[in-house]
């Protein structure tokens, strides 16, 4: 089998930009894709950086959105509401492709998008939203945090609905995007910035930079 990234050799900036967004969209849809899981960075109230792994749940290239789910009691929710600036990092080792993105986060705690994302979430993965204490609560000894009735089994669909009160959707509107592809012939690096416009939808501006 050849190098899975070989076809990238002929890509120009617009092809790279389109490829970055379509790869993210595929990552959200497939757990086997290298971009299914990424790192989301924020700035905490003490000014320190915070970074954590999250599952990429939905992508819209038109709206420039990356969406993930979390528990509304998690530290990141308050952080993002106070300081919405975020960074995302993805690395697809198979294609030797790194994406770094920046944007503004909006935490949804109700509304149509929040309801739609809850309905799309798997019943099994809703168990963490049923945890009794907030994520990060100190414990005297190890404890899964699940309510006693759900310690040893997944919730039934009807039981899982109680987790919705703790469910949050983080929608990040991206305005910076950077691609790095590692190649023996010379790495490729591109940087794009979203330029808003009062007359139209705006455009991505950018191109090659020294790797």
Task: Using CB under 6 A, pick the residue from 25, 41, 43, 54 that binds ligand FMN.
Answer: 54
Choosing from 19, 33, 72, 76, the residue that interacts with ligand FMN (CB under 6 A) is: 76
Contacts of 126 (CB under 8 A, 6+ apart): 155, 160, 163, 167
Number of residues that bind ligand FMN (CB under 6 A): 14
Judged by CB under 6 A, the stretch of 27-35, 70-78, 99-107, 150-158 that binds ligand FMN is 70-78
Nearer to ligand FMN, 84 or 135 (CB): 135
Is residue 135 close enough to count as binding ligand FMN by CB under 6 A? yes
89 binds ligand FMN (CB under 6 A): no
Burial class (CB in 10 A: 0-12, 13-18, 19+), 173: middle
| Cα 208 → chain centroid | 25
By CB neighbour count within 10 A (0-12 exposed, 13-18 middle, 19+ buried), where does 13 fall? middle
Interface stretch with ligand FMN, choices 26-34, 69-77, 92-100, 144-152 (CB under 6 A): 69-77
Site for ligand FMN in 33-52 (CB under 6 A): 37, 50, 52
Q: Is 19 in the site for ligand FMN (CB under 6 A)?
A: no
Using CB under 6 A as the binding rule, whether residue 75 contacts ligand FMN is answered as yes
DSSP letters for 23-81: HHHHHHH-TTSTTSEEEEEEE-TTS-EEEEEEE--EEETTTTEEEEEEETTSHHHHHHH
**Residue 123 found at the interface with ligand FMN (CB under 6 A):** no
Q: Which two tokens stand for residue 59?
A: 């992508």
Task: Name which position in 53, 137, 144, 193 contacts ligand FMN (CB under 6 A).
Answer: 53
Contact in structure between 108 and 114 (CB atoms under 8 Å): yes
The contact set with ligand FMN (CB under 6 A) reads 37, 50, 52-55, 68-70, 74-76, 135-136
């Amino acid at each position: 089998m050849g190098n899975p990234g070989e076809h990238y050799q002929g890509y120009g900036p617009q092809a790279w930009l389109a490829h970055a967004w379509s790869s993210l969209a595929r990552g959200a849809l497939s757990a086997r894709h290298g971009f299914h899981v990424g790192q989301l960075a924020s700035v905490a109230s003490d000014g320190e950086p915070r970074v954590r792994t999250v599952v990429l749940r939905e992508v819209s290239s038109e709206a420039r959105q990356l969406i993930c789910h979390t528990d509304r009691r998690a530290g990141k929710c308050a952080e993002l509401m106070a300081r919405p600036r975020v960074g995302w990092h993805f690395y697809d080792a198979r294609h030797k492709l790194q994406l770094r993105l920046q944007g503004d986060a909006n935490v949804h705690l109700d509304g149509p998008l929040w309801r739609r994302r809850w309905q799309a979430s798997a019943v099994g993965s809703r168990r963490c939203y049923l945890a009794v204490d907030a994520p990060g609560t100190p414990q005297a000894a190890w404890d899964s945090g699940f309510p006693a009735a759900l310690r040893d089994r997944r919730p039934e669909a009807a039981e899982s609905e109680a987790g919705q009160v703790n469910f949050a959707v983080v929608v990040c509107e991206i305005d910076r995007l950077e691609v790095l592809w590692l190649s023996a012939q010379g790495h490729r690096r591109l940087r794009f910035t979203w330029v808003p416009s009062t007359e139209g939808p705006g455009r991505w501006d950018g191109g090659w930079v020294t790797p």
